[in-house]
């Protein structure tokens, strides 16, 4: 299921900009480009360099009352190939054309719906998004437009795509943003889950997602996914292919979904990824909604995550005599858990320690997480600040620890957690929104 993936040299344009960056959602890319029920289209003749002008103005599709011309499609295919580095041969163009046409149909629907709700996007918004692409690709001012000109790609091919993305982001946020609230308890639960996972091996994973909107499309989408995987194996850049073709919200990040913990992905996916080495790629996997291609970017152990973390600790120890039997140890564990269950601060823990065993209990001070015993480190790493750990065996008996302060490593930003929860919810709603638009749309294909 896995194979090595390497990047291909050359120009790589990251189609990710969003215009002005509003509070949460518009700053993320919303490439939810689901497949319509389209047959394979014989489009090579439309995309060849020797096309006659009359062919280029031919109407390829009518979306409600708006058209997509052969020239529009040819320009967008060229842009997609440039951005993803898939190559420019006729066979590759043929494979890409159908997917690009689906994306363009969805963009028409998104813009039309946004206009119904009076969503405004100014030329300045699009220009800022265009300039952001230059910055992200480390190009000088005017560098991106020059690349497009040199490749014979009209600037409008990119600006129209950016316009659709910005309008759709604002439309979805305007429709749902005011009605979605992320409660404090949700944020607390998410933070606890993050904290509790610190002692588990983590995989950094990227994905490409191709949706199957209709069962009759399954074979076609599977074929396209296999072709993308093959191109990546032959050297195409996974991040750039993801940015151009993936229908995952993480497309803007090159498909990077970050550090993944056990239980976050489908069990079949997790088993496959666990057998892989960093840099390896899965073959397309059929899961809920469509086909996925996964790349294992990196892997880290709890010890690696603990290298630069310093914790300030307080402990309570319930003493155990040398040679205590199992029943005595069990009683000590129960006592330690009961004594510390309601402690809310390190001060309270210190007070409990003074009452139970002042010689063994109390503040420990700052200690490097990596220097803690192997049986204690995962417990400390997994616990939230000012929360008693589960009882663990220590030299003098049974101990319960509390982290008073944690420095270094990856801090958990409460606002970021809240933003991510909101983004996930909006992502799901946006998928449904677009699916509803497709159900009532009139699409007339003319090829």
Helices (H), 177-217: 184-196
Burial class (CB in 10 A: 0-12, 13-18, 19+), 141: exposed
User: Whose CA is closest to 127, among 114, 142, 108?
Assistant: 142
More confident: 194 or 409 = 194
Number of domains the chain is built from: 3
- For residue range 88-106, list pLDDT tens digits in order: 778 778 878 888 898 899 8
**What does the alpha-carbon distance between residue 379 and residue 51 come to, in Å, rounded to a whole number?**
67
The answer to whether the CB of 221 falls within 8 A of the CB of 212 is yes
Distance CA 255, CA 233 (A): 16
In a domain, 1, yes or no: no
Q: Which residue has the higher pLDDT, 103 or 294?
A: 294
Residues 164-176: pLDDT tens digits?
989 998 999 889 8
Q: Mark whether 157 and 207 lie in a shared domain.
A: no
Same domain, 139 and 274: no
Q: What is the DSSP letter of 19?
A: S
pLDDT of residue 47: 44
Contact residues for 351 (Cβ-Cβ < 8 A; gap 6+): none
Distance of CA 154 to the CA centre of its chain: 30
216 in the same domain as 151: no
Q: Is the domain of 300 the same as that of 341?
A: no
Residue-wise pLDDT for 115-166, tens only, equals 999 999 999 999 998 888 888 778 899 999 999 999 999 999 999 988 998 9
Least confident of 129-138, 186-195, 325-334, 356-365: 186-195
What pTM, to 2 d.p., does this model score?
0.63
Question: What pLDDT shows up at residue 306?
Answer: 52
The β-bridge partners of 209 are 292
- The CATH number covering residue 354 comes to 3.10.50.40
Give residue-wise pLDDT tens across range 422-431: 887 888 888 7
In the predicted model, is pLDDT for residue 401 greater than 50? Answer: yes
Q: How far apart are CA 431 and CA 30, in angstroms?
A: 9
45 and 138 share a domain?
Answer: yes
* Structure confidence at residue 68 (pLDDT): 94
Look at residue 420 and tell me if it is in a domain: no
3-state helix, strand, coil split of the chain in percent (to 5) is 50, 15, 35
Answer whether residue 414 shows pLDDT above 80: no
Ramachandran region of residue 362, left (φ > 0), alpha (ψ -120 to 50) or beta?
left
Asked if the structure places residue 22 within a domain, the reply is: yes
The more confident residue out of 44 and 32 is 44
Q: Are residues 233 and 347 in the same domain?
A: no
Sequence-ordered list of residues with C-beta below 8 angstroms from that of 341, at least 6 positions apart, any chain: 388
Q: What is the CATH number of the domain that holds 434?
A: 1.10.4030.10
Range of the domain at 402: 309-407
Q: Across the beta sheet with 66-69, what order do the strands follow?
A: 66-69, 59-63, 443-445
Burial class of residue 324, CB neighbours in 10 A (0-12, 13-18, 19+)? middle
Residues 295 and 343 in one domain: no
| Rounded Cα–Cα distance for residues 391 and 71 (Å) | 69
Residue 113's pLDDT is what?
A: 95
Domain closes at, from 272, 304, 336: 304
């Amino acid at each position: 299921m896995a194979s090595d993936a390497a990047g291909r040299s050359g120009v790589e344009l990251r189609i990710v900009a969003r215009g002005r960056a509003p509070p949460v959602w518009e700053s993320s890319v919303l490439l939810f480009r689901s497949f319509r029920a389209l047959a394979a289209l014989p489009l090579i003749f439309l995309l060849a360099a020797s096309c006659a002008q009359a062919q280029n103005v031919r109407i390829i599709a009518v979306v409600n009352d708006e058209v997509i011309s052969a020239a529009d499609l040819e320009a967008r295919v060229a842009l997609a190939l440039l951005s993803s580095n898939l190559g420019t041969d006729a066979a590759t163009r043929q494979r890409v054309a159908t997917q690009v046409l689906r994306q363009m149909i969805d963009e028409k629907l998104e813009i039309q719906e946004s206009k119904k709700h009076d969503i405004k996007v100014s030329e300045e918004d699009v220009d800022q998004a265009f300039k952001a692409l230059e910055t992200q690709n480390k190009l000088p001012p005017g560098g991106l437009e020059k690349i497009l000109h040199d490749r014979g790609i009209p600037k409008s091919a990119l600006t129209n795509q950016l316009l659709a993305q910005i309008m759709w982001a604002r439309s979805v946020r305007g429709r749902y943003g005011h009605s979605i609230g992320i409660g404090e308890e949700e944020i607390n639960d998410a933070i606890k889950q993050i904290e509790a996972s610190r002692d588990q091996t983590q995989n950094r994973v990227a994905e490409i997602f191709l949706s199957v909107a209709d069962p009759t499309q399954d074979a076609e989408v599977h074929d396209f996914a296999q072709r993308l995987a093959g191109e990546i194996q032959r050297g195409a850049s996974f991040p750039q292919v993801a940015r151009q073709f993936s229908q995952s919200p993480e497309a803007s990040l090159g498909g990077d979904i970050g550090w993944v913990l056990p239980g976050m992905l489908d069990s079949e996916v997790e088993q496959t990824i666990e057998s892989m080495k960093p840099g390896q790629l899965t073959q397309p996997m059929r899961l809920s909604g469509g086909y996925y291609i996964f790349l294992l970017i990196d892997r880290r152990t709890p010890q690696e995550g603990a290298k630069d973390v310093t914790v300030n600790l307080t402990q309570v120890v319930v003493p155990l005599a040398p040679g205590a039997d199992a029943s005595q140890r069990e009683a000590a564990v129960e006592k330690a858990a009961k004594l510390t269950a309601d402690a809310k601060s390190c001060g309270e823990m210190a007070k409990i320690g003074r009452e139970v065993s002042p010689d063994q209990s109390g503040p420990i001070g700052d200690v490097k997480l990596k220097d803690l015993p192997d049986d204690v480190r995962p417990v400390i790493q997994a616990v939230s600040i000012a929360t008693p750990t589960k009882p663990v065996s220590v030299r003098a008996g049974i101990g319960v620890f509390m982290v008073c302060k944690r420095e270094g490593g990856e801090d958990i930003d409460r606002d970021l957690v809240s933003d991510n929860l909101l983004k996930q919810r909006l992502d799901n709603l946006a998928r449904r929104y677009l699916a509803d638009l497709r159900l009532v749309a009139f699409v007339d294909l003319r090829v």
